[in-house]
Each structure stands twice: as C-alpha cells, then as structure tokens.
Amino acid sequence: MTRRLLTLTAALALAALGGCSAAGVLNATVSHKNFRTEHGLAYGSSPRQTLDVYMPAASSPQSASHGRPIVVFFYGGSWQSGSRDSYLFVGAALASRGLVAVVPDYRTWPETAFPGFVDDAAAAVRWARDHAAEFGGDPSRIFLMGHSAGAHIVMLLATDDRYLAAQQMSKRDLSGVIGLAGPYDFLPLHDATLEEIFPPALRAASQPINFVEGDEPPVFLAAGERDTTVDPGNTDRFAARLRAVGDSVEVKHYPRIGHALLVGAIAGPLRGFAPVLDDTSAFIDAQTSREAQRDGDAQSLPCASCTLHCAVPSNCLRKVGARVDGSSQMPKKARANAGSSNSPVIRSPA
C-alpha cells in the first residue's frame, strides 16, 4: 500500500469512525527503527494500571547530559474506553523528537467513576518520575499530555493539586501540560452515562476551570475548529481563565480539523493536515530551555543572601518562582468553587 493511499485511508477512517479503526492504520505506518519500547509495565495492582515506555534509539542525539524530557500521554475515550496499544503512533512520534514517552492505561467506566481515573493518572505520573532514569529520562522535566478525556485528566492534575499531593508530588513538579481537544468546563451534563460517571456531589470538582489559581505550570492548548465532539469553547474559556490569573498559556486553533484528526495528525502520514507534533515539540523545547536558563541563574545566586532558605537551592527559581533579587512569588491557595486545597484527595467510589 502506498504512503499516499495509507494517508487517505487513515484520514477517511478518522473522519468516519472517530479514530478507533484508524489507529490500527496509523500504527501500521510506524517505523520501529528510531525508538525502543518497554511494554506492559505495572504502576498499580489493577490490570488497567499498566503502561508502555517509548525511548529514542540509542544512537539518537541527546541534548542534555542529565536526561531527556518525559512526556506522559493520556488518551481519550469519554472516560469509558481506550487502550494504550492504539497509541503506538503517538509514543513513536514523541520518541522521534528526542523525548521519553510514557503511555498509560487507566481505569474507565464502569470499573470506576470520577475521580478514579484521575487517581490512576496521578499514580502513573509518580511512576514516570520514579523510573525516569531507567529509560534515559530526566525526573525534573516532566510534561503531561492528553487528548479529549485524557486532556481533561491532565488539566485536573495541573490545577487541583490534591491528586499529585496524594502521590507526594505537586503541580510545581510539572514542566508543562498539553491539552488536545479537551473538556475543561463542560457542565451541565446532557448524557445519562456521563451523569453516572460524574456523580452530582462531585461535578463541580470535576471541572479543571474551577481550580485555576495562578500557580499552574505552562500550558499548551489545541483545538480543531471542526470539532463536534468537544466544543472548542472549552479551550477558549479555559485559556481565558488561565490568562486572567497570570498563568502562561499558548493556544492553537487548527482549521478544517475535527476531534479525532487532531490527535491523528501526530502520525507521520497525517502531519500535513495540522502541525500538532511540531507545535507540541516546540512548546516542550521552549519550556525546557527556559528551565535550563532559570536553573543556571539559580546556581549563580548566592544562597546566603536568599530569604527562601531552600532545601535544594539549585531548583529554587523553578519550583517556587523566586526572583534573582531573592524575593518570591508564592502560589495562591484559594480554591474557586471546589473546596480547600487542604482537603484530602477525593476518593473514587469504585
């Protein structure tokens, strides 16, 4: 089958079938020469709590001696379906850009309801940090990325710190977060199954937009202008809230792109439809470059004159927002519409 025919077949499948059948076509086009994989690694006790790791080939150049950035990618599926096996093309594409990609499965409905899948995601991120060095990754440069329901999940981790806190982590441990076609502000619900997935008492706590408070990691948001599955208004409203509190956010709208094709465009045969991979890679590169510069500035700061008394001085600028003059910008603690940041993480009913 020619490359041109594969492209057409995949594009038609994405448009007509919502991406499920197209994933097999896209995965069939992946060359395995430029990356290595580890499959089915457990980050929890449930059969769904497993993940795959994609690493650049050993001969690929590495920009930094301390390890490559790590991207933990969460797929979508309306919180009801999905499989990491379908996203070989995503892991391979990220590895081709010199990144270590981690693609977890997570529990879905009816095995669990909100917030069970967010708890799983936090556990997967903790696993990625703890095991980063084993795969050539840098545990201090962790990016989260998600499509559709996966984008919702990563933005909750980036805004509501209770999930990562349950894993002895913080959103300040994240170098950046990438959301593709995500629902971030999707109440009220209009679907009977979603009403079961998100119990009434927890619905306000399920909306990432309710937790934005100004101390989020840098965010990249993308939406397709022809998306009829998740209203692109979610992206615009979420971006506006982030900007209103001074967070760093970059937004891309891709014309003529629908819901499934937004993630499908990461695959080699479909990259001509939208530069999703290029834009995502550029965002990651920009954040890692800024962090490297801040770390260099922090190492040159005479700690005796710093008022923060950091346990790890070389990381103080990046982790708590200290300025070179020794003053600091500590994160706000207000929780809009969704309870106190001191509350324990919401536990799954399943």
Which pLDDT belongs to residue 175?
98
* Residue entry with tokens 């939208």: 274
- Taking residues 58-83, report their average pLDDT: 84
**By the 8 A CB rule, do 10 and 270 touch?**
yes
Selection from 124, 199, 186, 193 nearest residue 154 by Cα: 124
**By the 8 A CB rule, do 148 and 259 touch?**
yes
Check whether 201 has a pLDDT greater than 90: yes
Lowest mean pLDDT among 11-20, 150-159, 216-225, 312-321: 312-321
Q: Report whether the peptide linkage leading into residue 110 is cis, meaning its omega lies within 30 degrees of zero.
A: yes
Q: Write down the pTM of the prediction.
A: 0.83
Q: How far is CA 73 from CA 121, 260, 333, 349, in A?
A: 10, 15, 28, 25
Which pLDDT belongs to residue 13?
52
Residue 335 pLDDT level (bands cut at 50, 70, 90): very low
Residue 326 pLDDT level (bands cut at 50, 70, 90): very low
Q: pLDDT tens for residues 127-180?
A: 999 999 999 999 999 999 999 999 999 999 999 999 999 999 999 999 999 999
**By the 8 A CB rule, do 264 and 257 touch?**
no
Check whether 264 has a pLDDT greater than 50: yes
Check whether 199 has a pLDDT greater than 90: yes
Residue 234 CA to residue 238 CA, distance in Å, equals: 6
Residue 176 CA to residue 158 CA, distance in Å, equals: 9
What the chain holds in terms of domains, given with CATH numbers, is: 30-320 (3.40.50.1820)
Check whether 239 has a pLDDT greater than 90: yes
Residue 223 CA to residue 189 CA, distance in Å, equals: 21
Beta strands per DSSP E along 17-162:
35-42, 50-56, 68-74, 100-104, 137-147
Q: pLDDT tens for residues 14-64?
A: 544 454 567 888 999 898 988 999 999 999 999 999 999 999 987 555 554
Calculated CA dihedral for residues 189, 195, 200, 201, nearest 10 degrees: -120
**By the 8 A CB rule, do 209 and 245 touch?**
no
